[in-house]
A and B are shown apart, each in its own frame.
Chain A
Protein backbone atom coordinates (compact mmCIF):
# COMPACT_ATOMS: atom_id res chain seq x y z
CA UNK A 1 0.00 0.00 0.00
CA UNK A 2 1.18 3.51 -0.79
CA UNK A 3 -0.09 6.81 0.63
CA UNK A 4 -0.52 9.71 -1.78
CA UNK A 5 -1.51 13.06 -0.29
CA UNK A 6 -2.67 16.20 -2.07
CA UNK A 7 -1.38 19.36 -0.41
CA UNK A 8 -2.39 22.00 -2.96
CA UNK A 9 -5.57 22.17 -5.03
CA UNK A 10 -4.57 25.23 -7.05
CA UNK A 11 -1.91 27.97 -7.10
CA UNK A 12 -3.00 30.08 -4.16
CA UNK A 13 -4.24 27.27 -1.93
CA UNK A 14 -3.43 27.14 1.81
CA UNK A 15 0.34 27.43 2.22
CA UNK A 16 0.41 25.40 5.46
CA UNK A 17 -1.41 22.38 4.01
CA UNK A 18 1.57 20.51 2.51
CA UNK A 19 3.71 21.20 5.56
CA UNK A 20 1.06 19.83 7.90
CA UNK A 21 0.52 16.76 5.73
CA UNK A 22 4.18 15.87 6.34
CA UNK A 23 4.11 16.71 10.04
CA UNK A 24 0.87 15.10 11.12
CA UNK A 25 1.21 11.53 9.88
CA UNK A 26 2.59 9.11 7.30
CA UNK A 27 2.76 10.05 3.60
CA UNK A 28 4.76 8.42 0.76
CA UNK A 29 3.97 10.82 -2.08
CA UNK A 30 2.99 14.47 -1.90
CA UNK A 31 1.04 15.68 -4.96
CA UNK A 32 0.77 19.42 -5.51
CA UNK A 33 -1.56 20.79 -8.22
CA UNK A 34 -0.72 24.34 -9.27
CA UNK A 35 -2.12 24.76 -12.76
CA UNK A 36 -5.53 26.00 -13.76
CA UNK A 37 -6.32 26.60 -17.42
CA UNK A 38 -5.60 30.27 -17.07
CA UNK A 39 -2.38 29.83 -15.09
CA UNK A 40 -0.33 28.94 -18.17
CA UNK A 41 -0.94 32.35 -19.72
CA UNK A 42 0.07 34.11 -16.49
CA UNK A 43 3.36 32.24 -16.25
CA UNK A 44 4.00 32.72 -19.99
CA UNK A 45 3.77 36.49 -19.50
CA UNK A 46 6.13 36.30 -16.54
CA UNK A 47 8.63 34.38 -18.66
CA UNK A 48 8.43 36.99 -21.44
CA UNK A 49 9.39 39.65 -18.89
CA UNK A 50 12.10 37.53 -17.23
CA UNK A 51 13.40 34.32 -18.87
CA UNK A 52 14.23 32.92 -15.41
CA UNK A 53 10.52 32.94 -14.48
CA UNK A 54 7.41 31.25 -15.88
CA UNK A 55 6.51 28.73 -13.17
CA UNK A 56 4.57 28.56 -9.87
CA UNK A 57 6.75 30.76 -7.72
CA UNK A 58 5.29 29.46 -4.44
CA UNK A 59 6.74 26.03 -5.13
CA UNK A 60 10.54 26.36 -4.69
CA UNK A 61 10.24 28.12 -1.29
CA UNK A 62 7.84 25.39 -0.16
CA UNK A 63 10.36 22.70 -1.11
CA UNK A 64 13.04 24.66 0.74
CA UNK A 65 10.81 24.62 3.80
CA UNK A 66 10.07 20.88 3.70
CA UNK A 67 13.37 19.61 2.21
CA UNK A 68 14.72 18.21 5.47
CA UNK A 69 11.58 16.30 6.22
CA UNK A 70 11.07 14.79 2.77
CA UNK A 71 14.71 13.66 2.72
CA UNK A 72 14.48 12.08 6.19
CA UNK A 73 11.23 10.31 5.45
CA UNK A 74 11.83 9.46 1.80
CA UNK A 75 8.71 11.30 0.65
CA UNK A 76 8.52 11.98 -3.09
CA UNK A 77 6.99 15.25 -4.28
CA UNK A 78 5.07 15.34 -7.58
CA UNK A 79 3.96 18.75 -8.84
CA UNK A 80 2.84 20.45 -12.04
CA UNK A 81 4.57 23.60 -10.80
CA UNK A 82 6.81 23.90 -13.85
CA UNK A 83 4.45 26.04 -15.87
CA UNK A 84 6.18 27.04 -19.12
CA UNK A 85 9.67 26.93 -17.60
CA UNK A 86 10.07 23.70 -15.61
CA UNK A 87 13.87 23.74 -15.91
CA UNK A 88 14.07 27.18 -14.29
CA UNK A 89 11.68 25.96 -11.61
CA UNK A 90 13.90 22.94 -10.97
CA UNK A 91 17.02 25.10 -10.78
CA UNK A 92 15.38 27.33 -8.19
CA UNK A 93 14.36 24.24 -6.19
CA UNK A 94 17.96 23.04 -6.33
CA UNK A 95 19.15 26.44 -5.11
CA UNK A 96 16.76 26.52 -2.15
CA UNK A 97 16.98 22.79 -1.36
CA UNK A 98 20.49 21.69 -2.30
CA UNK A 99 21.06 17.95 -2.24
CA UNK A 100 17.61 16.98 -3.48
CA UNK A 101 17.42 15.09 -6.74
CA UNK A 102 15.01 16.84 -9.08
CA UNK A 103 13.52 15.37 -12.28
CA UNK A 104 11.71 17.45 -14.89
CA UNK A 105 9.08 16.24 -17.37
CA UNK A 106 9.39 18.01 -20.73
CA UNK A 107 7.44 18.00 -23.96
CA UNK A 108 4.09 19.62 -23.17
CA UNK A 109 5.07 23.11 -24.35
CA UNK A 110 3.89 23.61 -27.94
CA UNK A 111 4.31 27.39 -28.05
CA UNK A 112 7.68 27.31 -29.87
CA UNK A 113 6.32 24.69 -32.31
CA UNK A 114 3.03 26.34 -33.29
CA UNK A 115 4.04 27.63 -36.71
CA UNK A 116 5.53 24.25 -37.58
CA UNK A 117 2.36 22.45 -36.47
CA UNK A 118 0.13 24.83 -38.43
CA UNK A 119 2.35 24.56 -41.51
CA UNK A 120 2.01 20.79 -41.41
CA UNK A 121 -1.78 21.00 -41.47
CA UNK A 122 -2.70 20.79 -37.77
CA UNK A 123 -5.49 23.35 -37.58
CA UNK A 124 -5.93 23.27 -33.79
CA UNK A 125 -9.56 24.29 -34.16
CA UNK A 126 -11.37 25.61 -31.08
CA UNK A 127 -13.32 22.67 -29.64
CA UNK A 128 -16.25 24.94 -28.79
CA UNK A 129 -16.48 27.29 -31.79
CA UNK A 130 -14.70 25.16 -34.45
CA UNK A 131 -12.68 28.20 -35.57
CA UNK A 132 -9.15 27.43 -36.86
CA UNK A 133 -6.28 28.70 -34.75
CA UNK A 134 -5.05 30.97 -37.53
CA UNK A 135 -7.91 33.34 -36.56
CA UNK A 136 -5.98 34.35 -33.41
CA UNK A 137 -2.42 33.34 -34.35
CA UNK A 138 -0.80 36.72 -33.57
CA UNK A 139 -2.49 36.99 -30.17
CA UNK A 140 -1.47 33.61 -28.72
CA UNK A 141 0.26 33.72 -25.32
CA UNK A 142 0.75 30.04 -24.53
CA UNK A 143 0.04 26.58 -25.96
CA UNK A 144 0.46 23.34 -24.03
CA UNK A 145 -0.59 19.75 -24.59
CA UNK A 146 -2.03 17.93 -21.61
CA UNK A 147 0.30 15.03 -20.93
CA UNK A 148 -0.63 12.00 -18.87
CA UNK A 149 0.75 10.00 -15.97
CA UNK A 150 3.29 7.74 -17.73
CA UNK A 151 5.90 10.46 -18.38
CA UNK A 152 5.52 11.55 -14.72
CA UNK A 153 5.96 7.93 -13.57
CA UNK A 154 9.08 7.71 -15.74
CA UNK A 155 10.44 10.75 -13.87
CA UNK A 156 9.73 9.02 -10.54
CA UNK A 157 11.65 5.96 -11.75
CA UNK A 158 14.85 8.04 -11.86
CA UNK A 159 14.77 8.03 -8.06
CA UNK A 160 14.15 11.77 -7.92
CA UNK A 161 12.97 13.35 -4.66
CA UNK A 162 11.02 15.99 -6.54
CA UNK A 163 9.29 15.60 -9.91
CA UNK A 164 8.32 18.80 -11.72
CA UNK A 165 5.98 18.74 -14.70
CA UNK A 166 4.47 21.47 -16.81
CA UNK A 167 0.96 21.00 -18.17
CA UNK A 168 0.25 17.42 -17.12
CA UNK A 169 -3.30 16.50 -16.14
CA UNK A 170 -4.23 17.11 -12.52
CA UNK A 171 -5.11 13.43 -12.09
CA UNK A 172 -1.67 12.34 -13.39
CA UNK A 173 -0.07 13.61 -10.19
CA UNK A 174 -1.92 10.89 -8.24
CA UNK A 175 -1.93 8.16 -10.89
CA UNK A 176 1.81 8.41 -11.63
CA UNK A 177 2.94 7.21 -8.16
CA UNK A 178 0.64 4.19 -8.55
CA UNK A 179 2.06 3.36 -11.99
CA UNK A 180 5.56 3.76 -10.55
CA UNK A 181 4.99 1.73 -7.37
CA UNK A 182 2.77 -1.02 -8.78
CA UNK A 183 4.16 -1.38 -12.30
CA UNK A 184 0.79 -0.75 -13.96
CA UNK A 185 0.93 -1.02 -17.77
CA UNK A 186 -0.57 1.30 -20.42
CA UNK A 187 -3.22 -1.30 -21.35
CA UNK A 188 -4.46 -1.99 -17.80
CA UNK A 189 -7.35 0.39 -18.22
CA UNK A 190 -9.36 -0.58 -15.13
CA UNK A 191 -6.35 0.10 -12.92
CA UNK A 192 -5.50 3.35 -14.71
CA UNK A 193 -9.14 4.42 -14.38
CA UNK A 194 -9.06 3.66 -10.64
CA UNK A 195 -5.95 5.79 -10.20
CA UNK A 196 -7.56 8.54 -12.29
CA UNK A 197 -10.65 8.51 -10.07
CA UNK A 198 -8.38 8.72 -7.01
CA UNK A 199 -6.70 11.70 -8.62
CA UNK A 200 -10.01 13.38 -9.40
CA UNK A 201 -11.09 12.99 -5.77
CA UNK A 202 -7.99 14.58 -4.22
CA UNK A 203 -6.90 17.03 -6.94
CA UNK A 204 -8.92 19.86 -5.37
CA UNK A 205 -7.31 19.42 -1.97
CA UNK A 206 -9.66 19.85 0.98
CA UNK A 207 -12.74 19.93 -1.22
CA UNK A 208 -12.95 16.15 -0.53
CA UNK A 209 -12.34 16.43 3.22
CA UNK A 210 -15.15 18.80 4.18
CA UNK A 211 -14.27 22.06 2.45
CA UNK A 212 -16.99 23.70 0.31
CA UNK A 213 -19.31 20.89 1.42
CA UNK A 214 -23.08 21.31 1.61
CA UNK A 215 -23.73 18.21 3.74
CA UNK A 216 -24.59 19.60 7.21
CA UNK A 217 -21.70 22.06 6.81
CA UNK A 218 -22.17 23.73 10.18
CA UNK A 219 -21.40 20.46 11.96
CA UNK A 220 -18.10 19.85 10.11
CA UNK A 221 -15.43 20.20 12.79
CA UNK A 222 -12.47 22.57 12.87
CA UNK A 223 -12.25 23.87 9.29
CA UNK A 224 -9.45 26.15 10.51
CA UNK A 225 -7.27 23.05 10.86
CA UNK A 226 -8.77 21.01 8.03
CA UNK A 227 -6.86 17.89 7.05
CA UNK A 228 -5.92 17.64 3.36
CA UNK A 229 -6.70 14.34 1.63
CA UNK A 230 -4.71 11.13 1.52
CA UNK A 231 -5.32 8.18 -0.81
CA UNK A 232 -4.17 4.80 0.45
CA UNK A 233 -3.81 2.81 -2.75
CA UNK A 234 -3.42 -0.92 -3.34
CA UNK A 235 -1.89 -2.58 -6.39
CA UNK A 236 -5.29 -4.05 -7.37
CA UNK A 237 -6.82 -0.58 -7.92
CA UNK A 238 -8.84 -0.46 -4.70
CA UNK A 239 -8.14 2.59 -2.58
CA UNK A 240 -9.30 4.43 0.52
CA UNK A 241 -9.64 8.19 0.94
CA UNK A 242 -8.84 9.56 4.37
CA UNK A 243 -7.00 12.35 6.23
CA UNK A 244 -4.60 12.45 9.15
CA UNK A 245 -6.09 11.72 12.60
CA UNK A 246 -6.75 14.77 14.75
CA UNK A 247 -7.18 17.16 11.81
CA UNK A 248 -10.34 19.12 11.05
CA UNK A 249 -12.87 18.42 8.34
CA UNK A 250 -14.77 15.25 7.47
CA UNK A 251 -14.47 12.36 5.03
CA UNK A 252 -17.72 10.48 4.40
CA UNK A 253 -19.27 8.88 1.32
CA UNK A 254 -21.50 11.95 0.86
CA UNK A 255 -18.48 14.26 0.88
CA UNK A 256 -16.67 12.07 -1.66
CA UNK A 257 -19.76 11.98 -3.90
CA UNK A 258 -19.84 15.78 -4.06
CA UNK A 259 -16.23 15.86 -5.23
CA UNK A 260 -16.72 13.00 -7.72
CA UNK A 261 -19.43 15.10 -9.40
CA UNK A 262 -17.30 18.26 -9.38
CA UNK A 263 -16.46 19.57 -12.87
CA UNK A 264 -17.70 16.32 -14.38
CA UNK A 265 -18.96 16.00 -17.96
CA UNK A 266 -20.30 12.75 -19.41
CA UNK A 267 -19.75 10.38 -16.46
CA UNK A 268 -19.09 7.38 -18.69
CA UNK A 269 -16.37 9.23 -20.62
CA UNK A 270 -13.91 10.88 -18.27
CA UNK A 271 -11.07 11.27 -20.76
CA UNK A 272 -7.38 11.60 -19.96
CA UNK A 273 -4.24 10.86 -21.99
CA UNK A 274 -4.03 7.57 -20.04
CA UNK A 275 -7.53 6.09 -20.19
CA UNK A 276 -11.27 6.68 -20.34
CA UNK A 277 -12.68 6.28 -16.82
CA UNK A 278 -16.32 5.29 -16.28
CA UNK A 279 -17.67 7.19 -13.25
CA UNK A 280 -20.89 5.15 -13.33
CA UNK A 281 -18.84 2.13 -12.23
CA UNK A 282 -17.50 3.68 -9.03
CA UNK A 283 -18.55 1.99 -5.77
CA UNK A 284 -18.16 3.66 -2.38
CA UNK A 285 -18.12 2.10 1.07
CA UNK A 286 -18.16 4.41 4.09
CA UNK A 287 -15.88 2.77 6.67
CA UNK A 288 -16.47 5.44 9.32
CA UNK A 289 -13.82 7.46 11.17
CA UNK A 290 -13.11 9.65 8.12
CA UNK A 291 -12.38 6.79 5.75
CA UNK A 292 -14.11 5.85 2.48
CA UNK A 293 -13.24 2.81 0.37
CA UNK A 294 -13.48 3.14 -3.42
CA UNK A 295 -13.64 0.06 -5.64
CA UNK A 296 -15.15 -1.41 -8.81
CA UNK A 297 -13.80 1.28 -11.15
CA UNK A 298 -13.79 0.37 -14.84
CA UNK A 299 -11.99 2.02 -17.70
CA UNK A 300 -11.21 1.84 -21.40
CA UNK A 301 -8.60 3.09 -23.84
CA UNK A 302 -7.72 6.81 -24.07
CA UNK A 303 -8.67 9.00 -27.04
CA UNK A 304 -6.40 9.18 -30.09
CA UNK A 305 -5.89 12.91 -29.64
CA UNK A 306 -4.51 14.94 -26.77
CA UNK A 307 -6.20 18.04 -25.48
CA UNK A 308 -4.28 21.26 -26.04
CA UNK A 309 -4.69 24.32 -23.87
CA UNK A 310 -4.04 27.58 -25.70
CA UNK A 311 -4.38 31.07 -24.28
CA UNK A 312 -4.58 34.34 -26.18
CA UNK A 313 -4.96 38.05 -25.58
CA UNK A 314 -8.64 38.94 -25.99
CA UNK A 315 -8.92 42.55 -24.78
CA UNK A 316 -9.84 44.29 -21.55
CA UNK A 317 -12.43 44.35 -18.79
CA UNK A 318 -13.27 46.16 -15.57
CA UNK A 319 -15.80 45.67 -12.81
CA UNK A 320 -16.99 48.51 -10.56
CA UNK A 321 -19.30 48.55 -7.55
CA UNK A 322 -21.36 50.97 -5.47
CA UNK A 323 -23.52 50.24 -2.42
CA UNK A 324 -27.01 51.72 -1.92
CA UNK A 325 -28.81 51.52 1.43
CA UNK A 326 -32.45 51.23 2.46
CA UNK A 327 -34.99 52.54 1.57
CA UNK A 328 -35.55 51.47 -2.08
CA UNK A 329 -31.97 50.24 -2.28
CA UNK A 330 -32.68 48.10 -5.33
CA UNK A 331 -34.50 50.88 -7.19
CA UNK A 332 -31.61 53.27 -6.50
CA UNK A 333 -29.08 50.76 -7.80
CA UNK A 334 -31.19 50.18 -10.91
CA UNK A 335 -31.46 53.93 -11.50
CA UNK A 336 -27.69 54.29 -11.14
CA UNK A 337 -27.18 51.52 -13.69
CA UNK A 338 -29.39 53.34 -16.19
CA UNK A 339 -27.42 56.55 -15.68
CA UNK A 340 -24.06 54.85 -16.25
CA UNK A 341 -25.30 53.18 -19.42
CA UNK A 342 -26.77 56.43 -20.76
CA UNK A 343 -23.53 58.32 -20.10
CA UNK A 344 -21.44 55.60 -21.81
CA UNK A 345 -23.79 55.67 -24.80
CA UNK A 346 -23.52 59.47 -25.03
CA UNK A 347 -19.73 59.08 -25.20
CA UNK A 348 -20.22 56.80 -28.20
CA UNK A 349 -18.25 53.99 -26.56
CA UNK A 350 -19.02 50.44 -27.61
CA UNK A 351 -18.52 47.35 -25.54
CA UNK A 352 -18.68 43.64 -26.23
CA UNK A 353 -20.85 43.40 -23.11
CA UNK A 354 -22.09 45.52 -20.19
CA UNK A 355 -23.33 43.27 -17.40
CA UNK A 356 -25.11 44.48 -14.26
CA UNK A 357 -25.79 42.56 -11.07
CA UNK A 358 -27.43 43.47 -7.75
CA UNK A 359 -25.55 41.76 -4.92
CA UNK A 360 -27.77 41.05 -1.95
CA UNK A 361 -30.74 40.80 -4.26
CA UNK A 362 -30.29 38.11 -6.94
CA UNK A 363 -26.74 38.22 -8.35
CA UNK A 364 -25.85 34.58 -7.71
CA UNK A 365 -29.13 32.77 -8.33
CA UNK A 366 -30.83 35.03 -10.87
CA UNK A 367 -34.44 34.06 -11.59
CA UNK A 368 -34.15 31.16 -9.12
CA UNK A 369 -33.55 33.58 -6.22
CA UNK A 370 -36.31 34.57 -3.82
CA UNK A 371 -35.19 38.08 -2.96
CA UNK A 372 -36.32 40.06 0.06
CA UNK A 373 -38.77 42.89 -0.63
CA UNK A 374 -36.80 45.93 0.51
CA UNK A 375 -33.27 44.86 1.46
CA UNK A 376 -31.13 46.84 3.93
CA UNK A 377 -28.57 47.42 1.20
CA UNK A 378 -27.79 46.35 -2.35
CA UNK A 379 -24.42 46.38 -4.08
CA UNK A 380 -24.57 47.55 -7.66
CA UNK A 381 -21.93 45.70 -9.67
CA UNK A 382 -21.33 46.67 -13.28
CA UNK A 383 -18.81 44.91 -15.50
CA UNK A 384 -17.74 45.83 -19.02
CA UNK A 385 -15.59 44.06 -21.59
CA UNK A 386 -14.18 45.45 -24.83
CA UNK A 387 -11.27 44.96 -27.21
CA UNK A 388 -10.56 48.69 -26.83
CA UNK A 389 -8.68 49.56 -23.65
CA UNK A 390 -9.76 53.21 -23.83
CA UNK A 391 -13.45 52.33 -23.65
CA UNK A 392 -12.90 50.18 -20.57
CA UNK A 393 -10.71 52.83 -18.97
CA UNK A 394 -13.40 55.47 -19.46
CA UNK A 395 -16.00 53.21 -17.86
CA UNK A 396 -13.88 52.99 -14.69
CA UNK A 397 -14.35 56.78 -14.29
CA UNK A 398 -18.14 56.72 -14.58
CA UNK A 399 -19.18 55.18 -11.23
CA UNK A 400 -17.78 57.45 -8.54
CA UNK A 401 -19.42 60.63 -9.91
CA UNK A 402 -22.77 59.05 -9.03
CA UNK A 403 -22.00 59.43 -5.33
CA UNK A 404 -22.81 63.14 -5.69
CA UNK A 405 -24.78 63.25 -8.92
CA UNK A 406 -26.98 60.14 -8.78
CA UNK A 407 -29.60 58.57 -6.51
CA UNK A 408 -29.15 59.09 -2.73
CA UNK A 409 -27.25 56.96 -0.16
CA UNK A 410 -24.45 55.70 -2.44
CA UNK A 411 -21.41 54.46 -0.56
CA UNK A 412 -18.72 51.79 -0.74
CA UNK A 413 -16.48 53.70 -3.16
CA UNK A 414 -13.46 53.83 -0.86
CA UNK A 415 -11.12 51.93 -3.17
CA UNK A 416 -11.54 54.50 -5.91
CA UNK A 417 -11.62 53.65 -9.59
CA UNK A 418 -11.58 49.94 -10.41
CA UNK A 419 -8.53 48.65 -12.30
CA UNK A 420 -8.59 47.84 -16.03
CA UNK A 421 -7.66 44.17 -16.42
CA UNK A 422 -6.31 42.37 -19.45
CA UNK A 423 -8.54 39.52 -20.58
CA UNK A 424 -6.65 36.39 -21.53
CA UNK A 425 -9.04 33.95 -23.16
CA UNK A 426 -8.80 30.20 -23.41
CA UNK A 427 -8.76 28.16 -26.62
CA UNK A 428 -9.21 24.39 -26.17
CA UNK A 429 -8.10 22.22 -29.10
CA UNK A 430 -7.05 18.68 -30.00
CA UNK A 431 -3.79 17.35 -31.42
CA UNK A 432 -2.68 13.90 -32.59
CA UNK A 433 -0.88 12.05 -29.79
CA UNK A 434 2.21 11.23 -31.82
CA UNK A 435 2.98 14.95 -32.22
CA UNK A 436 3.76 15.17 -28.51
CA UNK A 437 7.04 13.57 -27.44
CA UNK A 438 7.86 13.75 -23.77
CA UNK A 439 11.23 13.37 -22.08
CA UNK A 440 12.68 13.43 -18.58
CA UNK A 441 15.69 15.45 -17.48
CA UNK A 442 17.36 14.95 -14.10
CA UNK A 443 19.18 17.74 -12.24
CA UNK A 444 21.64 16.60 -9.63
Chain B
Protein backbone atom coordinates (compact mmCIF):
# COMPACT_ATOMS: atom_id res chain seq x y z
CA UNK B 1 0.00 0.00 0.00
CA UNK B 2 1.35 3.39 -0.96
CA UNK B 3 1.36 6.35 1.40
CA UNK B 4 2.34 9.93 0.73
CA UNK B 5 5.05 11.26 3.07
CA UNK B 6 2.87 14.27 3.95
CA UNK B 7 0.47 11.90 5.71
CA UNK B 8 3.05 10.47 8.09
CA UNK B 9 5.76 13.13 8.36
CA UNK B 10 6.46 16.83 8.43
CA UNK B 11 9.52 18.71 7.25
CA UNK B 12 11.49 21.95 7.34
CA UNK B 13 14.20 22.98 4.91
CA UNK B 14 16.88 25.65 4.79
CA UNK B 15 20.16 26.55 3.14
CA UNK B 16 23.87 26.62 3.81
CA UNK B 17 25.64 28.00 0.78
CA UNK B 18 24.65 25.94 -2.26
CA UNK B 19 23.43 23.07 -0.05
CA UNK B 20 19.82 22.53 1.03
CA UNK B 21 19.07 20.66 4.23
CA UNK B 22 15.73 18.96 4.80
CA UNK B 23 14.65 17.72 8.20
CA UNK B 24 12.04 14.98 7.78
CA UNK B 25 10.20 14.11 11.00
CA UNK B 26 7.77 11.24 11.61
CA UNK B 27 4.54 12.34 13.31
CA UNK B 28 4.38 9.01 15.15
CA UNK B 29 7.48 7.23 16.52
CA UNK B 30 6.28 3.92 15.01
CA UNK B 31 6.57 5.37 11.49
CA UNK B 32 10.24 6.34 11.91
CA UNK B 33 11.59 2.90 10.84
CA UNK B 34 9.47 3.23 7.69
CA UNK B 35 11.20 6.53 6.87
CA UNK B 36 14.60 4.95 7.50
CA UNK B 37 13.77 2.03 5.20
CA UNK B 38 12.06 3.88 2.35
CA UNK B 39 13.38 7.44 2.19
CA UNK B 40 16.95 6.73 1.15
CA UNK B 41 19.43 9.30 -0.12
CA UNK B 42 19.10 7.75 -3.60
CA UNK B 43 15.31 8.17 -3.65
CA UNK B 44 15.56 11.76 -2.51
CA UNK B 45 18.12 12.49 -5.23
CA UNK B 46 15.84 10.94 -7.86
CA UNK B 47 12.77 12.80 -6.50
CA UNK B 48 14.40 16.18 -7.06
CA UNK B 49 15.92 15.25 -10.43
CA UNK B 50 17.67 18.12 -12.18
CA UNK B 51 17.17 20.51 -9.23
CA UNK B 52 19.94 18.74 -7.29
CA UNK B 53 23.22 18.64 -9.23
CA UNK B 54 25.37 17.16 -6.44
CA UNK B 55 25.17 14.28 -3.99
CA UNK B 56 22.52 13.69 -1.34
CA UNK B 57 23.65 12.70 2.17
CA UNK B 58 21.40 11.31 4.88
CA UNK B 59 21.81 11.40 8.68
CA UNK B 60 19.63 9.64 11.26
CA UNK B 61 18.31 11.22 14.45
CA UNK B 62 16.39 8.37 16.13
CA UNK B 63 15.98 10.50 19.27
CA UNK B 64 13.77 12.91 17.31
CA UNK B 65 12.33 10.25 14.93
CA UNK B 66 13.85 12.33 12.18
CA UNK B 67 16.15 12.15 9.17
CA UNK B 68 18.36 14.99 7.99
CA UNK B 69 19.16 15.24 4.28
CA UNK B 70 21.88 17.39 2.75
CA UNK B 71 21.26 18.14 -0.94
CA UNK B 72 24.47 19.50 -2.44
CA UNK B 73 24.62 21.92 -5.40
CA UNK B 74 20.88 22.42 -5.18
CA UNK B 75 20.44 26.21 -5.19
CA UNK B 76 21.99 27.44 -8.42
CA UNK B 77 25.11 28.69 -6.63
CA UNK B 78 23.38 29.49 -3.37
CA UNK B 79 23.17 32.65 -1.32
CA UNK B 80 23.26 35.83 -3.37
CA UNK B 81 24.47 34.09 -6.55
CA UNK B 82 21.26 32.07 -6.97
CA UNK B 83 18.74 33.16 -9.59
CA UNK B 84 16.02 30.84 -8.27
CA UNK B 85 12.82 32.19 -6.73
CA UNK B 86 13.44 29.77 -3.85
CA UNK B 87 17.08 30.76 -3.41
CA UNK B 88 17.12 29.60 0.21
CA UNK B 89 15.50 26.21 -0.39
CA UNK B 90 12.57 27.06 1.87
CA UNK B 91 10.12 24.91 -0.11
CA UNK B 92 12.27 21.79 -0.54
CA UNK B 93 10.81 20.26 2.62
CA UNK B 94 7.29 20.52 1.27
CA UNK B 95 8.48 19.12 -2.07
CA UNK B 96 9.88 16.06 -0.33
CA UNK B 97 6.51 15.46 1.36
CA UNK B 98 5.06 14.77 -2.12
CA UNK B 99 7.05 11.53 -2.26
CA UNK B 100 4.98 8.32 -2.14
CA UNK B 101 6.47 5.33 -0.35
CA UNK B 102 5.51 1.68 0.17
CA UNK B 103 4.02 1.18 3.63
Contact = CB atoms under 8 A, between A and B. Distances in A.
Interface of A: 37-38, 128, 212-215, 254, 257-268, 279-284, 314, 317, 319, 353, 355, 357, 359, 363-370, 381, 383-385, 423-426, 428
Interface string B7-35: 00011101111100111110100000000
A265 B16 contact: yes
Contacts, number: 138
Given A258-B25, A282-B63, A363 B85 contact: yes
A38 B80 contact: yes
Given A128-B17, A128-B18, A426-B17, A260 B64 contact: yes
Contact of B66 (A257, A268, A364, A426): A257
B8 to A, nearest CB: 13
Q: 9 nearest interchain CB pairs? A: A261-B23, A383-B83, A367-B49, A355-B83, A365-B95, A366-B51, A263-B14, A364-B91, A258-B12
B49 A368 contact: yes
Given A257-B66, A267-B68, A426-B17, A364 B95 contact: yes
A428 B62 contact: no
B98 interface: yes
A215 B81 contact: no
Contacts of B15: 263
28 contacts: A214-B10, A214-B93, A214-B94, A257-B23, A258-B10, A258-B11, A258-B12, A258-B23, A258-B25, A260-B64, A261-B12, A261-B23, A261-B24, A262-B14, A280-B62, A282-B63, A314-B81, A319-B83, A359-B85, A363-B85, A363-B86, A365-B91, A365-B95, A365-B98, A366-B95, A367-B48, A368-B51, A369-B95
A265 B47 CA distance: 21
Contacts of A280: 60-63
B84 interface: yes
Contacts of A263: 14-16, 21
B47 A368 contact: yes
Interface of B: 10-12, 14-18, 21-25, 27, 47-51, 59-66, 68, 70, 76-77, 79-81, 83-86, 90-91, 93-99
A254 B86 CA distance: 24
A24 B95 CA distance: 37
A279 B61 contact: yes
A259 B12 contact: yes
A267 B12 contact: no
B59 A267 contact: yes
Nearest to A261: B23
Contacts of A258: 10-12, 23, 25
Contacts of B59: 266-268
Given A214-B93, A257-B64, A266-B59, 7 more contacts: A37-B79, A215-B10, A257-B23, A283-B63, A314-B81, A366-B51, A368-B51
Contacts of A357: 84-85
Contacts of A363: 84-86
Contacts of A370: 98
A208 B27 CA distance: 17
- Most chain B CB within 10 A, of A254, A258, A268, A428, is at A258
A366 B10 contact: no
Contacts of A353: 76-77, 83
B68 A425 contact: no
Given A261-B21, A366-B48, A423 B80 contact: yes
Contacts of A214: 10-12, 93-94, 97
Contacts of B70: 265
A324 to B, nearest CB: 16
Contacts of A284: 64
A261 B66 contact: yes
